[in-house]
Chains A and B, each alone.
Chain A
Amino acid sequence: MSGSGNTNVLNLTLKVWRQEGPNATGSFDSIPVEGIADDMSFLEMLDIVNEQIIEQGGIPIEFDHDCREGICGACGVMINGNAHGPKKGTTTCQLHMRNFEDGDEIVVEPWRASGFPIMRDLVVDRSPFDHIVESGGYISVNTGAAPDANLIPVPKDASDMAMDAAACIGCGACVAACPNSAAQLFTSAKLSHMNLLPQGQAERWKRTEQMVETMEQFFGACTNHGECTEACPKEISLDNIAFMNRDYLKSKVKNRKLTGQVFP
C-alpha cells in the first residue's frame, strides 16, 4: 500500500457508531487510528481499523460493501455529517483518505431514517428500496428480442435523462441526507429511467402510482430542500422529482383502459 511515491501518512481519531443489534442502544466509540496512507480508500481504512480491533480481541465494526468501485451501491456511511463523505459525486468506497487531514477527528455514523433501521454498527436495512422497485420498477410486458439499432427512435434528450437517472445505484444517501428522510430522489430516478423510454410506456402509469405509494409507506415527505442531490454519489438531478410529481397526478387521472394504446 505504501511505497507508491509521495504518500502521506495520517493519524486520525475515528468516532464510530457501535450498536450490537437492531434493538440495542448504540453509542459512539472513539478509536485512535495510526499510519493510514492517504491513497487508501475510506473502506480500506476501516479494514485496517478492524484488523487492529481483531488483534486486540474486540468485535470488528460492521459495514456494508461489495464492489468497492462505486457501482453497486452497497457501501455508504455518514462521514462527518455528509453522506459518503465530503467529496461530491463519490461513494464511500471511492473516497480517498487524502480528503482528510492528519489529526482529524472523523465521525462515522450509519444512515438514519425510520425506513432504514440499523441492523448493526454501520449496517442498515435498506429493504424498503427493494419494495419500491418490486412494486413497479420493471418492464413485464413482452418488448420482443433485442431490436436492431435505431429501430425504435428515442429522442436524444429523453435518452440522456433516462440514462442519467439509471445511474442511480440505490445506496440510500438521498434518504440519509434528507431532513425529512424522504426517498423521492431514489424513486424518481427509478421512474425516469423507465418512464422516459418507449419500452416503459405500457406500464408507465401503473408503475408510477404503485412505486410512489410504496415509497410513502416507508419514507417521509419531500420539502424540496435539495440535500439529496448534493449527497448523491451519482449526482441524480432534482428534475426527476418534478417529473415524478407530474406523472403521479397523471397516473391518477389516466383512464387505465387506454394506457398502452395512448402514449403520454
Chain B
Amino acid sequence: MAATSTQRGVTPIRPAPRKTLPWPIQFYRSAVGRKWVMGVTGLMLLGFVVVHMLGNFKAYISPESIDHYGEALRDMGGHLVPRTHLLWAMRLGLIGAFALHIHAALSLTLMSRRSNPQSGIDGQKKYAGSQDYIAANFASRTMRWTGPIIVLYILFHLADLTWGTRSDEFVRGEPYHNMVDSMSSLPVAIIYIVANLAVAIHIFHGTWSAMQSIGINNPRINGIRKPVSMGLAALVLVGNLSFPIMVQAGVLDEETSEESAPALVLSEEVTS
C-alpha cells in the first residue's frame, strides 16, 4: 500500500505510517491519535483548572482555610507517603499532560499548514471570496493563540505565586498573604483577568472539541455537549476572575489575613 503512494497523481503530504511500530506509537503518530491525546490531556488539565479554582474558593471562607488547604496538599498521603511526594506525583502527571498537549497541538498545526496551499495557518482565509466562517467561532479559531497565552500565563503564575520570584513580600506556605499581596497591584490583577479570559475561551472550544475527538457521541448526550462546555467555561471564568476583582475591591485583604496567625504557626511547625 505504501509503495504505490509515490506513483499517485497527487503528492502526499505525509508518508504512509510504519506498521512495524508498537500500536500506541503508531496511534500517536496519526492525526486522529494526536487528537485523542489532546482531548484526554485537555480534559485532565481542565480537571486541574476546576479543582484549583475550587481550592482557591477557600480564600473566601477564611485566610486560615486556604493556608490549611495548601498545607494539606503538601502533606497529602499523611503518614503513608513522604511529605510532598504525592503532590509531586500529581505535578509530574500534570507536566506530562501539558507536554503531550502542546506537542500534539504543534505537530497537528504543522500538518494542517502543509495541507493548505497558500495561507496555511488556521484562522487565515483560504479564499478571496468575502464570506466569513459560518460554524467556526471565535473560540475555535483562536485556540492557537489562547494556547500560547496560557503557557506564558502559567509561567508568570508559577513565578508569582509558587516560586515567589516576582515579589520580596512572598512568604512560602502562606497562599492567602501571597495572593492578596500579588493581586493588589493593578497591573498584576489585569494580567490575571486577561489570562483567565483566554483560559475560558480555550475551555469553551476545547471541552466540546475534546468530546468530539475522543468519540463521546451519543444521541442522548449530543445535545448537551455545547451547553456543558459553555457552562464549564463560564464557571471557570467567573470563579477565577473573582479573585483579582475581589482583591482589588478590598473584599479579600491583608487585614483579615492578620487574624490567620494560627495557620502560620501550624505550617511552620510542620515544615520545621
Contacts and interface: CB of A to CB of B under 8 A. Distances in A.
Nearest to A253: B23
Interface string A84-124: 00100000000000000000000101001111110000000
Shortest Cβ-Cβ A-B pairs, 8 listed: A81-B129, A246-B215, A242-B217, A220-B115, A81-B131, A226-B135, A225-B136, A220-B112
A229 interface: yes
Interface in B153-198: none
Contact of A252 (B1, B27, B212, B213): B27
A71 interface: no
A107 B128 CA distance: 7
A249 interface: yes
12 contacts: A112-B118, A127-B9, A179-B124, A182-B31, A212-B32, A213-B30, A216-B30, A226-B136, A227-B136, A243-B215, A249-B33, A249-B215
B17 A213 contact: yes
A179 B108 contact: no
Contacts of B140: 223-226
Interface string A210-239: 101110111111111111011100000011
Interface of B: 1, 5, 8-10, 12-17, 23-24, 26-27, 30-36, 108-109, 111-118, 122-136, 140-141, 143, 205, 208-209, 211-217, 219, 222
Nearest to B109: A221
A175 to B, nearest CB: 9
A245 B34 CA distance: 11
B139 to A, nearest CB: 10
Given A82-B129, A242-B215, A221 B13 contact: no
A135 interface: yes
Nearest to B26: A252
A78 B130 CA distance: 11
A251 B23 CA distance: 10
Nearest to B135: A226
Contacts of A242: 211-213, 215-217
Contacts of A179: 112, 116, 122-124, 126, 133, 136, 141
A71 to B, nearest CB: 24
B143 to A, nearest CB: 7
Nearest to A126: B10
B33 A248 contact: yes
Contact of A223 (B15, B113, B133, B143): B143
A41 interface: no
B9 A225 contact: no
